[in-house]
Amino acid sequence: MKKIFQNLIPYWKSVLLIVLLLVVQAYCDLSLPQYTSDIIDVGIMKSGVEHIVPQRITAREYQEAQIFMNDDERSLWQNAYGEDGEFYWRITDDETALDQLDEKLLTSVALTYQLGHTAEADFKDMIKGFLAENPQTSSLSGEVNRMSVEEIGALLHMKIDSFEAKDENGERAVYVDMRPLMEKLITDGQMNGDMVTEARASMEKMIDAIGAETLHSMGTSYAADCDRTAGLDVDEMQMDYLWKTGGRMLIMALMMLAAAILVSFLAARVGAGVGRDLREKVFHNVIGFSNSEMDQFSTASLITRSTNDVQQIQMVTAMMLRMVLYAPVLGLGGIYRVAKTGAHMEWVIALGVVVIISFVGLLVSVTMPKFKVMQKLVDRLNLVSREILTGLSVIRAFGREKTEEDRFDTANQELKKTQLFTNRVMTFMMPGMMMIMNCLVILIMWIGAGRIDTGELQVGAMTAFITYSMMIVMSFLMLTMMSIMLPRAGVAAERIDEVIKTKSSVADPENPAVVENVQGVLEFSHVNFRYPGAKEEVLRDISFRAEPGKVTAIIGSTGAGKTTLVNLIPRFYDVTGGSVTLDGVDVRQMAVRDLRRAIGFVPQKGVLFSGTIASNLRFGNEDASDEEIRLAAEIAQAADFIDEKDEKYDSYISQGGSNVSGGQKQRLAIARAIAKDPKIFVFDDSFSALDMKTDAKLRKALGINLKDSTEIIVAQRISTILHADQILVLDDGEIVGKGTHRELMKNCEVYQQIAYSQLSEKELKGVE
């Protein structure tokens, strides 16, 4: 995890912008359920009326509304309105002020509404009680049940309004508006303040039983009735509210879409940048590796690390920026919104989260070990594939196709089995998540239905609660999904970091020595060398001096250490004992770039790069002119076959030089070294693919054109080095002979054996 986050440091500005955009996206996402709730609860259920204080009210309603208000409430009510003829207008539209009025006046307004919507049976019970308390009318109380509302009004000498409306069961019922009666009783002195307070307390008990949400609904219904009575078009107000809320939802949805698109774009860009940086770091470090480090990491493993592993990091980085940063914002915002719904079902969400974490934890514990094994199996498959493709011609020549197919199939099947196991286990993820979420929804609806029935919760609030619950669960789901991907990416990050942190054993010194005007005097002084991790030394006490204008040849049996010796010159390896000097300066004290610039190295296996012949010859000297590369080709005896091609020096060379022969490849590699124009030439058995005639011509051309350079030639054929100024005979890592051909034929038994195995005694005497 730490390594993955460290890769984001160069992109901190983009990450900060992504976080801000995710906050915007989460805010919009969390706002939508509330708007849905408002449309249901306010726009539909409450006719678009948000507050219990009407916008306009008749003078009669204005007075009747104050029946159950205490002095403080009455003061708030009166300060909220201004008189305009027979109507009173609400003089404030500030949402904060209106919310305060809703809170302070809710009980008295609901009481007033309840008084104006008293069921006929309750109305008659109240009248009976009122008549029974008065000695003059107590005899009439028993007749009330048989009287109509109009007859009761006539009995009380006033008009009492009644109307039909649907009851809580949806059936038609008769309701009575008792407000005029209550106001008359108070005005006539038949009800005093204590009686009003007692009536308010009695009705408050009844209202408390129906729940706060129902109480607020009664208040908004009262406001809608007052607005309608005062001549306002409540239907138009409702449509205005729905259009306004719907418009806000649309704006929020568009903002959320824009934020999501920008986040995806920036996250993908950062992920691609991280991938590019990692590939660049890996490649830059690998380019500087000595042969020791290349032996430590196989080529197939390095390819896997710079492709598959980097791709894992890139993908996880992009997803992490979109999901890991978004999930906490969405989850915390959802919890806050859930608390505001007042549903009091937070324990349901907690239960769902615990179940999800337990379920995902079970899956992760089963699959995580397999994810770590999978990367190693990918390495192995790449290694086998590379070996087979590289050695395809050899495989065909030896008829090993079936054996190699089986070897590849074994590696492929092991990877497939591991991938299938992880995939099969993870297939339980989404069905399991959907099952848990659906069960969670059912539980919320079951509990919410009971709370709606008691008036403690509204339908829209429950809808919002379900949506917020899903958001919270989804945020935890996103985190758990990433918790599966992050460990696998962590393994990839460690593998990449291992390559990046591996320092080359061949490095520049802090203060490199500078050799002005390199002469090319090369000297080995008591050199020993042991490969990293090996117990035995490959080279022991090697000492010789190679000078400009002279040819130093190295010969010996296979495995004698010839290639290892010349690899010490350009510091492909560093000596483990003694020293190698150039013009008297230890090569380890020189900058690697300066040292290698002075050397023209032709490896044992000629390597060409895709491009043209000219681009390959200019590989060591980009500024070489056409004449210079043509001369280099002539010296290397490559000009003839180049001129035979239709496009001459612009002829295409395929990857690895597969469209030219072995001898042509060697000659082009030699020409490439010559075009570099170095002071030291190292030919590591570079004439082995040449016929005797071409070999002789090439050595003659080298002697004429490179007479001021130091030449070191590793050869297997005696004929190649017969005329060398100095011949070193290697046997089992030691120099067992040093001198010219004539000298070695007299005093070096190993050289004599090699010479007699290749040339006849007559041929050898002819040379001498």
For residue 364, count other CB atoms closer than 10 A to its CB: 17
Given this model, what pLDDT does residue 212 score? 58
Given this model, what pLDDT does residue 138 score? 65
* Contact of 261 with 84, CB cutoff 8 Å: no
Length in residues, the chain: 768
**What are the pLDDT digits (tens) for 471-514?**
777 777 777 666 666 666 777 777 777 777 777 767 777 888 88
- Three-state secondary structure call for residue 93: coil
Q: Is the pLDDT of residue 13 over 80?
A: yes
Given this model, what pLDDT does residue 433 score? 74
Locate the domains of the chain by residue range: 56-231, 275-501, 522-767
**What are the pLDDT digits (tens) for 322-343?**
877 787 777 777 777 776 665 5
Residues 6+ apart with CB under 8 A from 428: 363
Instruction: Report if pTM > 0.95.
Output: no
- 69 alpha-carbon distance from chain centroid: 61
Q: Is the pLDDT of residue 767 over 60?
A: no
**What are the pLDDT digits (tens) for 153-182?**
777 777 777 767 665 566 777 777 767 767
218: nearest Cα among 105, 123, 120, 344? 105
* More confidently predicted of 669 and 37: 669
For residue 448, count other CB atoms closer than 10 A to its CB: 22
715: nearest Cα among 533, 562, 543? 562
Please state the rounded mean pLDDT for residues 307-322: 80
| Percentage of the chain modeled with pLDDT above 70 | 85
Given this model, what pLDDT does residue 644 score? 83
Given this model, what pLDDT does residue 258 score? 92
Strands 81-84 and 56-58: unpaired
**What are the pLDDT digits (tens) for 48-105?**
888 888 888 888 888 878 877 888 888 888 888 888 878 889 888 888 888 888 888 8
Given this model, what pLDDT does residue 384 score? 81
Please state the rounded mean pLDDT for residues 403-407: 83
Report the chain's terminal Cα–Cα distance, integer Å: 72
**What are the pLDDT digits (tens) for 664-697?**
888 888 888 888 888 888 988 887 777 778 878 8
**What are the pLDDT digits (tens) for 423-474?**
777 777 777 777 877 787 787 778 777 766 665 666 666 777 777 777 777 7
CA angle (21, 24, 25) in 5-degree steps: 85
**What are the pLDDT digits (tens) for 541-582?**
889 899 888 889 998 888 888 888 988 888 888 888 888 998
pLDDT-wise least confident of 351-365, 413-427, 453-467, 507-521: 453-467
Q: To the nearest 10°, the Cα dihedral for 484, 488, 491, 497? A: -100
Please state the rounded mean pLDDT for residues 16-33: 86
Given this model, what pLDDT does residue 165 score? 67
DSSP, res 680: E
pLDDT-wise least confident of 337-346, 387-396, 621-630, 654-663: 337-346
* Contact of 342 with 38, CB cutoff 8 Å: no
Tokens, residue 318: 């992009």
Across-strand partners of 525? Answer: 579
**What are the pLDDT digits (tens) for 631-657?**
888 888 888 888 888 888 888 888 777
Residue 755 CA to residue 746 CA, distance in Å, equals 12
- Three-state secondary structure call for residue 114: helix
Residue 117 CA to residue 219 CA, distance in Å, equals 12
Architecture of the CATH domain 522-767? 3-Layer(aba) Sandwich (3.40)
Given this model, what pLDDT does residue 622 score? 83
Given this model, what pLDDT does residue 251 score? 92
Given this model, what pLDDT does residue 499 score? 77
Given this model, what pLDDT does residue 255 score? 92
Domain 275-501 has CATH 1.20.1560.10: yes
Given this model, what pLDDT does residue 261 score? 92
Given this model, what pLDDT does residue 250 score? 92
* Contact of 506 with 290, CB cutoff 8 Å: yes
Residue 377 CA to residue 370 CA, distance in Å, equals 10
Residues 6+ apart with CB under 8 A from 387: none
pLDDT-wise least confident of 136-140, 344-348, 445-449, 479-483: 136-140
Given this model, what pLDDT does residue 257 score? 92
Given this model, what pLDDT does residue 206 score? 56
Across-strand partners of 57? Answer: 88
* Contact of 411 with 381, CB cutoff 8 Å: yes
Per-residue pLDDT band at 350 (split at 50, 70, 90): confident
Given this model, what pLDDT does residue 203 score? 58
